[in-house]
Chain A
Amino acid sequence: MFAPNHRDLLIACLWASLAVVAVAATDNTILRTVLCVPVAILVCGHTVLRAIGIGAASRAEHLAYAVGASLVVGIAGGMALNAAGLLSPLGWAVWFWLAVVGSSLTAARRGGPAWTLVAAPDVRRWHVGAVVLSVLVATGAYALAVRDETAQRQFKYTEFWLLPSEDGGQLRVGVRSGEEKGERFDLDVILDGQPLATFRSVEVAPGQTWTRELPVAPAAVSRRAVARLFRPDDNRLYRSASALLTGR
């Protein structure tokens, strides 16, 4: 089926098949990335170009056109899979497999010149070493950028909330610290002017969340709950929150 001058098509079909197997059989991100990304972004476009019979004047031209054709195959796949209700990982893998195999068979039937790789220019070891080093430096720099982003916290804050349940039978009160250091709080909850709960010396470390669920007796009318957060050190009202409990 695949003559020697169509080895690229055979390799494309095998690669696409491996991609389907990888999607169906493993959750390994690296393996799936290595197998699936080339199929989705380049290989299917390459086989489509071969099927249509477009000859490019240079490798760069062929690669650019192949990426363009792959993008169109991907877009068409989205529409088709949506119509079929198959927009899922396996659906995508099968779609690209169908595109690659279908266009490869068409290309093989059409004939045409062989597709060969160009010879590499006179590359020495240090050239490769320099490029690899560059990639490593750029990757390291990216990791540094991620670390910088994670460390950037301009505002120091404490989140305080009071959430009523849907049925009005429960209140959820919570504190989360975005401060630089741990803090100690006093907290009280009042329902319709009557104390419902009090918590003393609640310690919350940076990044830590403190929550309590408070059951509330059902009532026929709507009631207002208020929660207040105090800092015992200066006895100051630090935050307050309120919620409306719906009546039954």
Chain B
Amino acid sequence: MTSGDITWAAGSPVRNGIRQVLAVIGPDRRDGMMADTLPRPANPGAVAILFLTVAMALLLVVLGQGAGRRGEAPASLLFWAGMALAVVPLGFRISWPQVARGERLLLLLLLVEALFYCRTIYSPTSFTPYDEVLHWVAAEDLMTARRLFLSNPLLEVGSTYLALEILATSLADLTRLPLFAAATLLLSVLKGTFIVALFLLYEKITGSARIAALGCLAYMGCSTFFLFEAMFSYESLGIVLCTLAFAIEAGSRNLPGGQRSRALVLIGLLLGGIAVTHHLSAVYAAIYFGSVATLELLRRGGPPRETKMAVGAVMAVLLPLLWVELNGTHLTAYLGPVIENGIKILLIKLHGAPAQLSDAVVAAAPSQPLFMRVTTLLGVLLTALGLATGFFRSLALSTAAAGRSGWWSIRDVLGRRWHESRIVFLSLLAFGFPLSVAFRLSIGGWEVGNRMGTLAFFGVGLVVATGIVHFWQGRAPRGWRLVAPPLALCVIVLGGVTSASLDPIRGPYRVAADSQSVEAMALETARWTKEWMGAGNRFASDRVNSLLLAGYGRQDVRPDIAKGVHPSRVFKSETLSADDFWALANSPVDFLLVDMRLTTAPPVLGFYFEPWESRTGKPIPPAALRKFENIEGVGRIYDNGFIRIYDMRGMHVRP
């Protein structure tokens, strides 16, 4: 039964419309994989020209960043022209039919490394994103103390998951490179390994290098790909180990018993690595292996059930739990509130309840330039179109060996008669994409949606690629069918870049905007503390300066003034209450760093100190930050006109 077999009363426009829609979304395939069947030689000439093109693109991007730093108008034009020049020619060549497998893979590597380069030159000599500095502090602690599991007050769970720091410091130790250089080298290897592993995963389960390459391009549309998974942060390593484990498992499924057991050993090692690397990556691995194993158990007929998959699933679940148990980590306390808040806000939105935020807060919400918003939106729409045309076709791929076509293959899936459980799972996983977009529409749910996207895009990549190969292009695409899908994929990749951050171009200082708040003066102040006060003094400050103090100043930054008293309470109020006085007098914090620039604008990310502080959408009143001037026992030991450091030791009550 195919969509064409369904008989409809002729002449009814509604039914014709439905028939057409079914034909578009339906599982019929146009044998697009025929183009892959003949092995083709790589074209080194094309590769060489693309290398040169990418080099020119990178130069443009650098010029754009430089113009952005100087506040010059052409920054945006230069930067985005460079990004387009890097992505479009490579995207076209990678997704073009009848290109050699090795060439696709090499160009994918080139594209990924080019994107990583573009991310790195935002700050080419130091760590600036918030999460990066947190991990950098941990790595510096490791190199200084030569011990693992040291406490990290700014990221408590971080002391349990130190694999990235271990690897980066091992390279720094072995080579004597600065930690930043060693970490950048490691990250570039991780990015390359990730894309090769993802390519192998798709290729192993679909048997098509073209689908694999297109799937990798579609994955780059994920909002976490450009920045989040390229940072010096544990997820950048975790996701690579995950993808390798998925690819090895998929590649070993048809191997004879002994070889499959050996592959299981390697999968076990990788799962062990994931367990000690990153909590969410461990969850992703558990979801993947658990779901595929469950689908294998549910499957009827076809090849024998893969019982060893269950062993992988058990390892994927048990190893992270064992690690958490061994270290006594309270993951629920760390992840629980974020997930709970995200779901709560999503439900509020779904019920159409009025926003709980004031007009001022909504007005002050971070926004991007129009061009970036349009690109993101286009990327989302094109991804959705790819999902709509690829979902049933992707599901049908899981039954391909049975020789059934059209809606019969979907009936087979519903009857649990599929051959490839991984394809079924990844196709269903693509449903996570609309959910992640829904989460990202709210400030509170953004973080959950962002993290969801990382896993959901494994499915999105497969489904979109299947849609392109089996619907949009088919066996011998010509005209718009040849050009439009690669162009759409390029827009999706660029959408991944535009959705990754508020602004990927380095510009002037902005208030409470994480990376955009890091500039030379604040760095100098943090370094001054180390040079003139020594390391390890107990400090409290706003979010960005706390980070710089911990990283560049090597100070002991406390997340709380006293137990239950967050810095926002003490810093933001115009006068100190008796309770605040008590907290400061009994606080372990000896120094407060006050950045008067916070009074010049509302926080770009919505908060100055901690995400849960009350949000008014207005700047802190200057009087609030000046109130420490006239407190007895407090000295202003440092002042550069913008940033001040107060010595609070004189008001401490010590037993």
A191-221 Cβ-contact flags toward B at 8 Å (1 or 0): 0000000000000000000000000000000
Q: List 14 A-B contacts (CB under 8 A).
A: A27-B176, A32-B176, A40-B170, A64-B247, A68-B197, A78-B163, A82-B148, A87-B148, A130-B51, A137-B52, A152-B519, A154-B508, A155-B521, A224-B635
Indicate whether B509 reaches chain A with its CB closer than 8 angstroms: yes
Closest partner residue, chain A, to B53 (CB atom) = A134
**Which of A41, A92, A158, A159 is close to B189, meaning CB atoms less than 8 Å apart?**
A41
Chain B minimum-CB-distance residue to A147: B66
| Interface residue SS majority, chain A | helix
Q: A32-B174, A68-B197, A154-B519 are in contact. Are A78 and B166 (CB under 8 A)?
A: yes
With A131-B51, A155-B521, A240-B639 in contact, is A137–B174 under 8 Å at CB? Answer: no
Q: Is the CB of B166 within 8 A of A141?
A: no
Chain B 562-603 near chain A by CB (<8 Å), digits 1 or 0: 000000000000000000000000000000000000000000
The segment from B7-15, B37-45, B331-339, B397-405 that touches chain A is B37-45
- Write out the residue numbers on chain B whose beta carbons fall within 8 Å of the beta carbon of A163: 532-533, 637
- Is B4 located at the chain interface by the 8 A CB criterion? no
Option from A65, A71, A137, A142 in Cβ contact (under 8 Å) with B121: A142
Residues 119-164 of A at the B interface (beta carbon under 8 Å): 121-124, 126-127, 130-131, 133-135, 137-138, 140-142, 144-146, 148-155, 157-164
- Our pick among B58, B174, B176 for the contact of A141 (Cβ within 8 Å) is B58
Candidates B47, B55, B272; contact of A72 at CB < 8 Å: B272
Q: How far is the CA of A32 from the CA of B147 in the complex (A)?
A: 23
Q: Judging by beta carbons under 8 Å apart, are B170 and A161 in contact?
A: no
Q: Per DSSP, are chain B's interface residues mostly helix, strand or loop, or mixed? A: helix
Q: How far is the CB of A207 from chain B (nearest CB, A)?
A: 10
Residue A53 lies at the interface, judged by CB distance under 8 Å to chain B: yes
Measured CB to CB, the closest approach of chain A to B227, in angstroms, equals 17
Across the interface, name the chain B residue whose C-beta is closest to A118: B102
In the complex, identify which listed stretch (B236-244, B387-395, B443-451, B545-553) lies at the interface while the others stay far away: B236-244
Q: Which of B289-330 contact A (CB under 8 A)?
A: none
In the bound complex, what is the Cα–Cα distance between A121 and B45 (angstroms)? 11
Give the interface of A toward B (CB within 8 A): 19, 23, 27, 29, 32-33, 36-37, 40-41, 49, 52-57, 60-61, 63-65, 67-69, 71-72, 74-75, 77-79, 82, 85, 87-89, 92-93, 96, 121-124, 126-127, 130-131, 133-135, 137-138, 140-142, 144-146, 148-155, 157-164, 172, 174, 176, 178, 222, 224, 239-244, 246
Specify which chain B residues have a CB less than 8 angstroms from the CB of A53 in the assembled complex.
259, 262
User: Does B484 lie at the interface of the complex (its beta carbon under 8 Å from any beta carbon of A)?
Assistant: no
Residues of B within 8 A of A23 (CB): 174
Instruction: Indicate if the CB atoms of A154 and B509 lie closer than 8 Å.
Output: yes
Can you list, as one digit per residue, whether each of B166-208 has a CB less than 8 Å from chain A (1) or not (0)? 1101110111110000000110010001001101100000000
A127 near B48 with CB under 8 A, answer yes
Give the residue name and chain of the B residue nearest to A150 (CB). B125
Contact of A121 with B41 at beta-carbon distance under 8 Å, contacts A141-B59, A157-B640 already known: yes
